[in-house]
Amino acid sequence: MKIILLLSTLFNITIARRISCHACLNSICYKRATILKGHKFSGQLAIDRNSNVLYFHYQNNRSRDFTGAFDLDKVKFSFVPNLGFTFGHAVDQSTKDLYASGTKGIYKYNPKENKTELFALKEKTIWHMQFDDKLYYTEFQKKGLYTYINKNSKIIPELSEHQIDDFIVDKKGDIYFMSNYTIHVFRKGAKSPVLFEDEIYSLTTDKDGNAYFIQPYTRGIYNVNYRSKKLNEVGAFGKASAFKLVFDGDNHIIYYDVTNKNLFYLSPTLNICSVGTRGKHRKMFIATTSRSYKNHKKNNLSSIKNITEII
């Protein structure tokens, strides 16, 4: 009797201290805070990492289009003027300017003056963009990847035959891109791109330009091990799926979950967790423990933001 009581007490303690992790990254349990709830997004998320301002397009419940700016440090939302529907988004981290593509053309938003102007390619429909010392872009339903410098578009000849759905340029200048449901890499200085992973991933880079890969079906998140040049498992997300994801200026993750149309900010907790796989498709799940890291060095909690729902 005593033993049963003792066991159940222990069990209760375990249950009571059991926490749920919205993501488990490098064995640290992350909790999410909602930035935006129940709005339909389309296109890319982009972030000015110096000011921690996040840019995105969304539709309100009357199907009106807005391009929004959310200041994570000041916890303040504002509209980007003269931009409704936009799809591609990229920020030049050195000037803080936002490049946003509309149904036609690329617009440039200067946040210091709070002004938007038509910037380039007013006849073209631009799909994805990234700014990495220059502007890279793809055209909607067209092959190839382009750069735009001094009012000139230039195709990258080695990629001119690929239909590119998503791409990133990492810290090495290597271009990872999704084409025909597989990930290819075009390494800087190489003659041609090569197959990297025979699966669908969504792609992003962190604040230091490290390449990250998110598998929408298993919910796993990976980065590139730059020594082995292979994928390294970072962890997994809880219930979310179909991601768009960016890293902010503190390398914290902001992601959009298509299933519930919410935009979230992830912050680390002091709890540890582990990631397992189950089923023949190796869907990932997070196992939480009641243990915690009291003095975990990687966990700089002083940079965590206090975000509550804004729209």
Cβ-contact 263, 307 below 8 angstroms: no
Encoded one letter per residue, x for contact with ligand NAG by CB under 6 A and - for no contact, window 271-300 reads -----------------------------x
Stretch 235-264 residues interacting with ligand NAG (CB under 6 A): 250
The answer to whether the Cα torsion of 263, 266, 272, 273 is positive or negative is positive
Cβ-contact 57, 264 below 8 angstroms: no
228 lies in the binding site for ligand NAG (CB under 6 A): no
The answer to whether the Cα torsion of 109, 114, 116, 117 is positive or negative is negative
110 lies in the binding site for ligand NAG (CB under 6 A): no
114 lies in the binding site for ligand NAG (CB under 6 A): yes
In the complex with ligand NAG, the residue whose CB is nearer, 160 or 300, is 300
In the complex with ligand NAG, the residue whose CB is nearer, 254 or 275, is 254
Stretch 86-105 residues interacting with ligand NAG (CB under 6 A): none
The correct pick among 78, 251, 290, 292 for binding ligand NAG (CB under 6 A) is: 78
In the complex with ligand NAG, the residue whose CB is nearer, 290 or 303, is 303
Q: CA-to-CA distance for 2 and 234, rounded, in angstroms? A: 43
179-to-120, 240, 252 alpha-carbon distances in Å? 26, 24, 28
Work out how close the CB of 61 gets to ligand NAG at its nearest, in angstroms, rounded to a whole number: 4
Residue whose pair of structure tokens reads 């640290």 in the numeric block: 28
Stretch 154-193 residues interacting with ligand NAG (CB under 6 A): 180
- Beta strands 202-205; 211-214: pairing state: antiparallel
Stretch 30-69 residues interacting with ligand NAG (CB under 6 A): 61
In the complex with ligand NAG, the residue whose CB is nearer, 61 or 259, is 61
Closest CA to 214 of 172, 249, 247: 247
The correct pick among 81, 134, 154, 309 for binding ligand NAG (CB under 6 A) is: 81
In the complex with ligand NAG, the residue whose CB is nearer, 9 or 303, is 303
The residue with its CB nearest to ligand NAG is 303
DSSP one-letter code for 79: E
Q: What are phi and psi of 5, to 5 degrees?
A: -60, -45
Q: What's the start-to-end Cα distance of the chain, in Å? A: 54
What does the binding site for ligand NAG look like in residue numbers (CB under 6 A)?
61, 78-79, 81, 114, 180, 250, 300, 302-303, 306, 308
